[in-house]
Structure 1
C-alpha cells in the first residue's frame, strides 16, 4: 500500500465488517450498534432519538445530546452494506433518521396529548394524532437530514460535520415549511444555559443547532478512531468550542442587573384557570371577577395595583368578545388608575361585510385605558394549524364525518396580513407576539423602527402540568437574547415572567399557580447582529461546511486512485 494511503488509513475511523474479529481492536458497544440490522437498528434509532429529548427543557441534560447523536453516527456508519443498489445506503440512512426523529418527537412532544383530554368526550379520539401522528410527520424532516448527511459521508472525522450539516438544513426546513414548527430544535440544548445561550446573539437558533449537533456527535470518534489523533482531535475541538462559547457568554453577560425603563411599573396577572372553565361563556362573570380581584391583590413586595402603570393579562382571556361588552370594559376602567393601561389577550371580530352574517375573527392583544376605551390592538399573524384554523378541505372532511372542530371560534381565526408594531402609552415601541409566535427566530420584530421590548401573551392551559409550557418559555426567552430585547410574558397557567436582554429571568411566576408579578422593565441593549446578519452568518457556516465536505470527498477519491 502506498505511503499516502497508509497515512490516510491511520486518520480514518474503523468500521468493522460482519464476521471479522474487530472486537479485539474496537469497543464492543460501537461494533454492535454499527452492525445492528433489522428491528434492532430501528429500535436503537428510536431509543437514541428519545434520549435526545432529555437535552430539551425542562431537563436540559446536555450529555443526553451525546447519548442520542453518538449512536446516530454509528448507525449511519452501518449503512455502507445496506443492500444492493446505488441508493440503498441513503434509503437506509433516511429510515434510521425517521425512527430517530420519531423517538425524539414522541419523547419531546407527548404533552400535546393533554389538549385532547380537556374535552375528552369530544376529542379523545384524536389523541393518537397529536401524540404519534405529528411526530411521525415531523420525523420526515430528520429522515431527510440523515439522508443528506449520508450523501456527504466519509469514514473519518468529517462525518460529524456531515450530520451537523444535514440536521441543520432539515431544521431550517422544519421551521419554515407548512407554516413552520421549530419546536425543540436541537439548538435549544445550548439555548438554556445563561452563558452558552449568548452565542445566539451572533448566529441565532439554527447556528446553535449546527454547533449542538457537531459537539454532541463528536464523542462517537473516541470509540471508532484508529489512532489517538483520530479518536481525540474532534472531541477535543468540540470541548474547546463549548468552553469558548461559555467564555463568550461569561464575558457578554454583565455582573450587575440591567437598568430599568423610567416610569414603567409592570403588573402581570396569572389566573391559572382550568381550560375547560376558561372558555365556558356561563362563567364569564366569575372569570371577570377573578381577573379584577387578582389584579387588585397586594403584591409580594408590598406594591398595589395603584402603583402599576401597565397591567398585563394573558392570551384569550375572555370567553366573550371584550370589545363588544361595554360593562366589562367599564369594569376594567374602574380597576385602572388615571394614566395607567391594561394590556390583554382577547378575541375580536371585524364588522361583517355586506352579505355576511358574521365578521372575521382575530386572536388579538388589546390595550384599554382607565375610561374603558380600547386604544389599539395587535392581530396575530402566525396562527396555530388545527388549534386556530383548519384548512378548508380538512374542515369539510371533519364536518362530513360528524366530528366537531377543535376550534371554538366559528370558521377559525383569520391571520393578520403583516406584523405591525403595537403602540402602548407609556411604553417604548413593542414587538407583540401571541402564543407560539415567540418560537420563530427572526420573525417576531414588526415593521418599522426597532422595538425596545418583546411582549408575549399566551395560554398554555391546554397542556396542564407537563413539559410543554417549560419548553415554550425557554424558546421565548431565547428570542430575548437573539434580539437584545427584554421579554415580558403573561401566561394563563404559567410560566409568566420578565426576562432581560441577556436571557436572565428577572422574576417569574411558576407553572400551575395563580398570582400577580410586579416588576420593572429592563432596558434594551444595542444588538450588533440583526436577524438578516444572523441568517448570513448561518448561511456562511453551512456553505463553509459543505465546501469542506466536498473538498474532503475529492481528496478521498484522489487518494484512493493513487
Structure 2
C-alpha cells in the first residue's frame, strides 16, 4: 500500500502537497505539528526515489512551500515597487524557483550518495542521521548564500511548541533538525515494524527533553526592570516619503511620545522620521531636551548622510542620556543596494524603490546605551540572521528590532517576521522590543513569548515592563557552528559506514 502511494506520479503529488501545506505550520496559521507531518511525507517519498526522481520531488516540495509561503514578495514588487504585473509575476516566480532549487539539490545528493529503498540498516542511517543533518545544512546554506534568505526555515514554525526549548542551545537550524528528526521517526514507525518501540521511545524522549528545556533560564536578570513604550504610526507605504506627509508624521510621533514620558525607553520604528538627520537636527535637539526632563531615553529610526563620502544609511539613533547611532549593515539586495551596480544598473531601473542605494554600516557596531542598559539593534530583516544578532552579546542586555513591513500589506509576511523575532529572543535569552510602522509591533520576553502586541494597520502605542538580562546561551557562544560541524560529521560517518559495509 505504501509503495503504491509513493510510486510514480502519486509520490510526486505527495511531495507537492506537502510543500503547499507546510507554510500553514508557520504564523499566522501556526499549526506547528504540521511541519513534522509534511516533512515526514517528503522523507517517505524521498526514501524510495532514484536520484533524479528525488531531485524532482524536492523541487516540487520547494515549489509548493515557497509559492504559498513567500508569495507576498509580489506585493512589494508590484504594488509598492511599481513594476508591471507581468514582470512582477516573473520576478516572484524566479525567486520561488531559486528557493526551490535547495530541496531539489538536497534530494539529488541524498539519492546519489545513499542507497535507495528500504533496508533496515541503511534506512536507519538515512532517516535518523543523514536526512535531519542534511536538512539543517541546507537551511544554513540558504541563510547565507547570495546574502541569505532564511525565510520558512522549519525551526521558526516551532516557537510555540516544546521544541522551542532547544533554541537557546542550537538555534533555529538545530530546531529544524529536531523537526526533521521527529519526521524521520514517524516514517520509521510506519515502515520498520521491528524498531517501533525504539522509534516511539526516541520521539517521546526528544519532545520531553525539549519541553523540560523550556523551563531552563539560560540568562539572568541584569539591573532593574524597564518600562518601555513602542510607537506605531501606521503611515501607508505609498505616502511615507511624500513631502506633504513629513510634518504630519513628525507631529504624530511627537504626540504619541508625549503620552509616554513615564517610560524609561521609547522606540520609534524604522525610518519613522522620514528625513535625514541634518534636516531634523533642530527638532531632535528640542525633543532630546524634553526627554531629558523626564529621564527618558529614545531610539528613533531615520536616515543619516555622510556628506563627505556621499553615502547614506538606514539608521537608529539614541537620544536622551547619550547620543549614539546604529547603521543597518545587512542590506536587502536590489531594494536597499544594487550588487554589481555598474553592470546591473540599467537592468533594474524599472524598480522605483525610494531610498534604494544605502551603504552598509559595518559588522562591528557596538550596542547602543539606553536607560542604563545596552541594546542590540537590528533593522528590518536583519533579525532573520541569528548569527548576526549574537554579535551584540554579551554586552547587550536587550534586543531591539525596528521594521517597516508596510511593504507587504496584509499578507503573511508580517506575522512570519514577528515569529522570527521571537526566535531571536529564544536564542539569546534576551527580551526583544519590536517597533514597526504598520505592525506587528510587539514586546517579547526572553522565552519568545509575546507580552504586548499592537493591532496591525492602526495608529497605536504599547507599553510594557521588561527585564534586561545578561549571560550567554549555548547558541550565543557557538552560533551555527555546533549544528554545522555535527551535521557534517554525522553525514560523513554515515556515508563511510554504508560504503564500507554496503547493504546486500
Question: Normalised by the size of structure 1, how large is the TM-score?
Answer: 0.81
Alignment partner of 1:346: what SS? strand
Contact 2:19-2:65 within 8 A present in 1 as well: yes
Unaligned runs of 5+ in 2: none
Alignment partner of 1:377: what SS? strand
Is 1:179 aligned to residue 147 of structure 2?
A: yes
**Partner residue, 2:345:** 395
The partner residue of 2:216 within 247, 252, 264 is 252
Alignment partner of 1:265: what SS? strand
**Partner residue, 2:472:** 527
Unaligned runs of 5+ in 1: 1-27, 80-88, 298-304, 354-358
From the superposition, tell whether residues 416 and 115 of structure 1 become closer, same or farther in structure 2 (CA, over 3 Å).
Answer: same
Matching of residues 201-350 of structure 1 within 5 Å: 201-225=168-192, 228-231=193-196, 233-249=198-214, 251-252=215-216, 261-262=223-224, 264-297=226-259, 305-330=260-285, 332-333=287-288, 336-338=291-293, 339-350=295-306
> Whole-Å Cα distance in 1 between the matches of residues 115 and 202 of structure 2?
20
The partner residue of 1:367 within 307, 310, 318 is 318
> Whole-Å Cα distance in 1 between the matches of residues 370 and 473 of structure 2?
28
From the superposition, tell whether residues 470 and 461 of structure 1 become closer, same or farther in structure 2 (CA, over 3 Å).
Answer: same
Contact 2:114-2:126 within 8 A present in 1 as well: yes
Q: Which moved more, 1:480-489 or 1:127-136?
A: 127-136
From the superposition, tell whether residues 533 and 217 of structure 1 become closer, same or farther in structure 2 (CA, over 3 Å).
Answer: same
Contact 1:97-1:145 within 8 A present in 2 as well: yes
Number of residues paired by the alignment?
A: 494
Q: Which moved more, 1:181-190 or 1:418-427?
A: 418-427
Contact 1:367-1:376 within 8 A present in 2 as well: yes
Contact 1:46-1:103 within 8 A present in 2 as well: yes
List per-residue Cα deviations over 1:153-180 (Å, max 9, x = no partner).
Answer: 4522333232222221111110111111
List per-residue Cα deviations over 1:445-484 (Å, max 9, x = no partner).
Answer: 3468531111111111111222111111111111111112
Contact 1:343-1:368 within 8 A present in 2 as well: yes
**Partner residue, 2:23:** 53
Is 1:90 aligned to residue 51 of structure 2?
A: yes
Residue 266 of structure 1 and its aligned partner are, at CA, apart by 1.6
From the superposition, tell whether residues 323 and 124 of structure 1 become closer, same or farther in structure 2 (CA, over 3 Å).
Answer: farther
> Whole-Å Cα distance in 1 between the matches of residues 390 and 453 of structure 2?
23
Alignment partner of 2:472: what SS? coil
Residue 129 of structure 1 and its aligned partner are, at CA, apart by 4.1
**Partner residue, 2:74:** 113
Contact 1:69-1:216 within 8 A present in 2 as well: yes
Contact 1:201-1:482 within 8 A present in 2 as well: yes
> Whole-Å Cα distance in 1 between the matches of residues 382 and 80 of structure 2?
25
> Whole-Å Cα distance in 2 between the matches of residues 454 and 462 of structure 1?
23
> Whole-Å Cα distance in 2 between the matches of residues 524 and 190 of structure 1?
23
**Partner residue, 2:8:** 36
**Partner residue, 2:38:** 68
Is 1:421 aligned to residue 377 of structure 2?
A: no
Residue 272 of structure 1 and its aligned partner are, at CA, apart by 1.7
Contact 2:428-2:473 within 8 A present in 1 as well: no
Contact 2:442-2:452 within 8 A present in 1 as well: yes
For the pair shown, which has the larger CA radius of gyration, 1 or 2?
1
> Whole-Å Cα distance in 2 between the matches of residues 122 and 139 of structure 1?
23
Residue 108 of structure 1 and its aligned partner are, at CA, apart by 1.1
> Whole-Å Cα distance in 2 between the matches of residues 326 and 204 of structure 1?
40
**Partner residue, 1:139:** 100
> Whole-Å Cα distance in 2 between the matches of residues 423 and 213 of structure 1?
38
List per-residue Cα deviations over 1:110-147 (Å, max 9, x = no partner).
Answer: 22222134347545444314542211101111112222
